[in-house]
């Protein structure tokens, strides 16, 4: 099964100190997936205490996304091979918009 933009996935996520199984959201576009073997993903976390910054987003519809507890997106973005992604759900439209705002705040060519 091919992951799509907005899919919530399970992946072995590289961290600063270790690699472990984490949840993430697929950020890369359909066009990107058409030409590349990898996907751009962003880290999700259940440690929401640190989530109040312009580049983090606390999910409103975490259950709809296939998650088991309140979750936040952090603008910690990496690329991984598409074949290691396992989809568990999809973002709601309002969570998709919230994450898009965070990504736009974190990645800018305006300085």
**Listed residue (98, 24, 86) closest to 58, CA to CA:** 98
Distance CA 11, CA 67 (A): 14
Q: What integer best gives the mean pLDDT of the chain?
A: 89
What's this model's pTM, rounded to 2 decimal places?
Answer: 0.88
Average pLDDT, integer, range 85-101: 96
CATH-assigned architecture of domain 7-106: Roll (2.30)
Q: Which is more confidently placed, 49 or 88? A: 88
Cβ atoms of 79 and 42 within 8 Å: the answer is no
Element (H, E) at 43: strand 38-45
pLDDT-derived band at 100, boundaries 50, 70, 90: very high
């Amino acid at each position: 099964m091919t992951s799509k933009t907005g899919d919530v996935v399970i992946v072995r996520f590289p961290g600063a100190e270790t690699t472990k199984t984490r949840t993430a959201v697929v950020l890369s576009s359909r066009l990107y997936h058409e030409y590349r073997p990898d996907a751009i993903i962003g880290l999700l976390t259940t440690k929401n205490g640190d989530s109040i910054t312009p580049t983090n987003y606390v999910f409103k519809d975490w259950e709809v996304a296939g998650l088991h507890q309140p979750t936040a997106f952090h603008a910690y973005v990496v690329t991984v091979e598409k074949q290691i992604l396992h989809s568990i759900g999809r973002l709601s439209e309002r969570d998709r918009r919230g994450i898009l705002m965070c990504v736009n705040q974190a990645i800018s060519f305006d300085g």
